[in-house]
Structure 1
Amino acid sequence: MSAPAPSPPFSPIESRPWADVQADQLARLRQQMAYLAERSVFYQQRFAASGIRPDAIRSLDDLRHIPFTTKQELRASLQAAPLLGLHQAAADADIVQIQASSGTTGSPAYVGLTRSDQEAWAEMTARGLYACGIRPGDRVLHGFSMSKGFVGGLPIWQGISRIGAVDLPIGADGGVDRLLIAARDARPRCVVGTPNFLLYLATVARELTGVAATDLGVRHLVVGGEPGGGIPAIREGLQTHWGATCREVMGGTDLGCVYWAEAEDQRGMYFVAPDHILAELIDPASGEPVAWSEGATGELVYTALQREASPVLRFRSGDHVVVTAMGGPGGRTTPAIRCFGRTDDMLIVRGVNLFPSAVQDIVSAMKPLVGGVMRVLADFEGHTTQDNLKLLVERAPDGRPEDDAHVAAQVETRVRNALAVKAEVRLVRHGFFDAPGAQKVALTLRRAPDFDR
């Protein structure tokens, strides 16, 4: 029996010829540049300081002559003109929704949306969730945080509603018990949430509800918000424990909730929003453009198109990706990617660039020798150290302290062979680290935990 034909995308824009998409992007970019010059104090100042004439953009390649916008510059803009910053480009009266980042470096970063922006966010998110398998009429268990203004809350609900699916808005903040009871009672076809949290839910489902996760009727898991969805060992664990397919999405508070999403082929996350966001790939060291082609790597840079309230121009996302496909199932013409790390997370250990997610990939694949949970202990200033890489790794559920030295040596060898860095591994009891919940899992610790707790 042959496999069913791939579903067409949610929007025709996702399967338009790429040359036509780029022609539309150029037209929208020129309109956005004129809008910034008229409405954004932040970009008015930048254009003046850089000697940039917004009407001089004649091709997409001309973007390379415009300076990048960084996260630090946006933070300074927000501090200079609270609440939405100097880059607010719509009147207060036109703002209908405000979202917030997680605020891991202090006060959250707030992003405004007009009615048009709100519609665009819902449309992009719907396209992504549809690519991942959510269909009209599906019951969707909401396992992202529903609180604190995070984009995994209300914006995900808006995308689910736009598809015509039914959201069960329990949220990670509602607690493990309540989520699993809702899964048992409602038998949702889809569950959305962070990968580590959904994996934890599956492991405790039988204990808390008397029903294994594989018997809850879930067919699709949609994960995002943290590393894990693209890590083979974690993905395999999710699919095995739930008996469902796992597909990954990616977005960000500054541009939208979801604008990259996996389809049936599970090759990577396809770009679903080329009419609302212009995505560039650059060399993270030189800042020079990198051509979109399968196998290329680089950092993603975004320019908002058709954005009114909080538009950004050539925003450096810090997301480091590899291009996994150029076009895909259902006639998709956009590129697909996997994200393998973030600039903010990158450590330089004895001259070797290292992403904690790469270490997690290795440790997760070593189950059942270890529990699969680990943290990098970066107890030094900044992001560079001449010391060995310090790792804390949970024992396997039946692990014995007397075996720690032998197990640690195996982890150290695997890390050295894969990443070319020497590691110092300390085994901790199984369940030492807090179970995943509403907050994203942080793979890096800046100071040693209390080992006696």
Structure 2
Amino acid sequence: MRPYSATLWNEIEAAPPDEARRVQDRQVREQIAYLAAHSAFYRAKFTEHGVDPDAVRGTDDLAGLPFTEKQELRDSLAAHPPLGSHVAAEPDEIVQIQASSGTTGSPSYVGLTAGDVQVWCELGARALYANGFRPGDRLLHGFGMSKGFVGGLPVVQIAQYMGIVDIPVGAEAGAERLLRVAADQAPNALIGTPHFLAYLAEQAPAIVGRPARELNVRTISVGGEPGGGMPTVRENLEALWGATSREMLGGTDIACTYWGECAEAAGMHFLSPDLMVAELIDPDTGDRVEPVEGASGELVYTALQRRASPLLRFRTRDHVVVTGTDCRCGRTGYKVRCVGRTDDMLIVRGINVFPSAVKDLVNGMRPEATGEMRIRPDFDGHSTQKPLPVVVEHAAGLDAERQEALRRTVFDRVRSALNISTTVELVPEGTLKRPDHVKVALVERLSS
């Protein structure tokens, strides 16, 4: 495959909104008809909710259809192994199965036909091209390569589809192996979670005898956890690596990656009206929210041109803020920043708090703080009337007076920015577990 232009992978990314909507409406009609014909799961949902598939004529009609919840997929997989009643392709059509992390039980399994793999590659190519990856690049693969994670093989497939050389070492190999490969192979592109890639760069002088910014990396794509688009995280990564850092977003159930931030670094673009529908909803009411600048809500997806494990109005629990609706890059899809998951959100004395927001503030307290922090709730559930317990790592060699100043700074900045009180515990540098191929857990609930 070849890119459409120097800035766009596919011309649909810059399509006028009316044209993009016409394409999307046609694909919605075709996908609904496919579900009605091939998915026992969705035929049952249509019957239960009184849905006439023939009456769905376009994207606007999706608002009247039921959501698909993650628990429904878990139940479907358990009752109808191996791929659930929501599988909609014949077994001999399925060429690949991917899995979620399974942090809350058994993984979710997603089947792919050869056509589905092609769609995943096209979605990913648009996102990574926006991030700055180009055909001919050499990519050091810093996502996990094991356990069927979508950051593994699918990223390799996307890179090959784009004409990029992927070096699939994987985060499980550890910092020493990754950095030695970086020193030997001089890749000019790097992909992984933002906090792991920052940790990797910090280890470079000790492992390969030179700073990460001397290892030839030109551009970085980060995802897999919220925070990659936060100014403090981005600036730290770019300073460490001497490269541009841009954010992307995806998810196992829909595809590997499908939102991508362009060179303007002002949020991730919606890039694929022909391959998916991305709705913004109020997480409490389920009502649609217009994606205008400043709006916030939960992302809900409908996969288009999807065969093996199609999803209709799938609730992701990813909470985003719309950062803009136009861009100098020419892309016409609105832009978002992911601030966390609605089911990870904490409520402190009635105020919604995303852990990533606290992390961003602590990142801005270097060099007194290392940037590592954890929230350790002393309450059950997600709501408390007490101050929020926060553990912050202080830099090595910080004397008692400066530690106390740091403690006050954490308290004051969190209260000023988020309007909540905290109890701040400082711990020495190196106390908190560093990120690896497993996503950083900013909230640690200690066993009783």
By the TM > 0.5 criterion, same fold? yes
Contact 2:373–2:391, Cα closer than 8 Å, also in 1: yes
Match of 2:388 in 1: 389
Q: What is the CA deviation profile of residues 163-197 of structure 1, one whole-angstrom value per residue up to 9, with x for unaligned ones? A: 10111111111121111011111111111011001
Letter in 1 for 2:228: G
The more displaced of 53-62 and 378-387 is 378-387
SS of match in other structure, 1:340: strand
Counterpart for residue 157 of structure 2: 158
How far is 1:24 from its partner? 1.1
Of 15-24 and 138-147, more deviation after overlay is shown by 15-24
Partner of 2:40: 41
Partner in structure 1 of residue 227 of structure 2: 228
Contact 1:99-1:150 at 8 Å conserved across structures = yes
Aligned to 1:138: 137
- State how 1:32-111 maps to structure 2 within 5 Å: 32-111=31-110
Q: What is the CA–CA distance in structure 2 between the aligned matches of 1:280 and 1:394, rounded to whole Å?
A: 38
CA-CA distance at 1:225 after TM superposition: 0.2
Is 1:399 the counterpart of 2:409? The answer is: no
Aligned to 2:352: 353
Alignment of 1:253 with 2:227, yes or no, is no
What TM-score do the two structures reach when normalised by structure 2? 0.96
Any unmatched runs of 5+ in structure 1?
1-5
Q: Secondary structure at the match of 1:176?
A: helix
Which residue of 2 is the match for residue 3 of structure 1? none
Rounded Cα–Cα distance in structure 2 between residues aligned with 1:377 and 1:331:
43
Opposite residue 218 of structure 1, the aligned amino acid is V
Q: 2:276 maps to which residue?
A: 277
Aligned to 2:262: 263
Kindly state the Cα deviation for residue 217 of structure 1 after the two structures are TM-superposed.
Answer: 1.0
CA deviations over 1:123-165 (Å, ceiling 9, x no partner): 1111111111111111111111111111111111111111101
2:22 match? 23
| Runs of 4+ residues deviating >6 angstroms | none
- In structure 1, the residue matched to 2:237 is 238
AA aligned opposite 1:344: D
Deviation at 1:448, TM superposition (A): 6.6
CA deviation vs aligned residue, 1:348-373 (integer Å, no higher than 9, x gap):
12211111001101111111222211
Specify the code of the residue in structure 2 equivalent to 1:304: A
Contact 2:131–2:247 (CA under 8 A) maintained in structure 1 = yes
Choose 134-143 or 396-405, whichever is displaced more.
Answer: 396-405
Matched residue of 2:343: which SS?
Answer: helix
Aligned-pair CA distance for 1:298: 1.5
Q: Residue type of the partner of 2:202?
A: T
| Partner-residue secondary structure (3-state), 1:299 | strand
**Cα distance in 1, alignment partners of residues 185 and 58 from structure 2:** 51
* Alignment deviations for residues 269-300 of structure 1 (CA, whole Å, 9 cap, x no partner): 11122211111111222211111222221211
Are the counterparts in 1 of residues 23 and 273 from structure 2 also a CA contact under 8 Å? no
> What pairs with 1:122-201 in structure 2 (closer than 5 Å)?
122-201=121-200
Cα offset for 1:34?
Answer: 1.2
Letter of the aligned partner of 1:160 in structure 2?
Answer: A
Q: Share of identical aligned residues, percent?
A: 53
Q: Please state whether the residue corresponding to 2:408 is helix, strand or coil.
A: helix
1:390-419, CA deviations, whole angstroms, 9 ceiling, x for partnerless residues? 101111122235654442222111111111
Distance in 2, matches of 1:448 and 1:399, equals 30
Quote how far apart the aligned CAs of 1:384 are. Answer: 1.6
- Contact kept, 8 Å, 1:391 with 1:425, in 2: the verdict is yes
Give the whole-Å Cα distance in 2 for the aligned partners of 1:328 and 1:363.
30
TM score, norm. by length of structure 1: 0.95
DSSP 3-state at the match of 2:414: helix
Partner residue in 1 for 2:308: 309
Report the counterpart of residue 379 of structure 2 in structure 1. Answer: 380
The aligned residue for residue 112 of structure 2 is 113
- Please say if residues 322 and 335 of structure 2, whose CA atoms lie closer than 8 Å, have aligned partners that are also in contact: yes
What code does the residue aligned with 1:302 have? Y
Q: Distance in 1 between matches of 2:416 and 2:285?
A: 28
Gaps of 5+ in 2: none
Note if contact 1:264-1:329 (Cα within 8 Å) is conserved in structure 2. Answer: no
| Cα distance in 1 between the residues matched to 2:413 and 2:14 | 42
| Contact 2:193 2:225 survives alignment (8 Å) | yes
Given the alignment of the two structures, is residue 429 of structure 1 paired with residue 389 of structure 2, yes or no?
no
Distance 1:40 1:327 in 2: 37
Counterpart-to-counterpart distance in 1, 2:297 and 2:420 = 22
Code of the residue aligned with 2:141 in structure 1: it is: H
8 Å CA contact 1:7–1:329 kept in 2: the answer is: no
1:212, CA displacement in angstroms? 1.2
Q: CA deviation at 1:79?
A: 1.5
- AA at the equivalent of 2:361: I
CA contact (8 A) 1:379 1:448 kept: no
Q: CA RMSD in A?
A: 1.5
Please give the alpha-carbon distance, in whole angstroms, between the structure 1 residues aligned to 2:383 and 2:366.
29
- Three-state SS of the structure 1 residue aligned to 2:196 is helix
Equivalent position SS for 2:154: helix
Distance 1:361 1:448, change over 3 A: farther
Q: 1:418 to 1:353 in 2, by over 3 A?
A: same
SS in structure 1 of the partner of residue 424 of structure 2 = strand
Contact 1:377-1:448 at 8 Å conserved across structures: no
Contact 2:136 2:163 survives alignment (8 Å): yes
Within 1, Cα distance between the matches of 2:369 and 2:397? 9
1:26 Cα shift?
A: 1.0
- Partners of 1:400 and 1:102 lie apart in 2 by 41
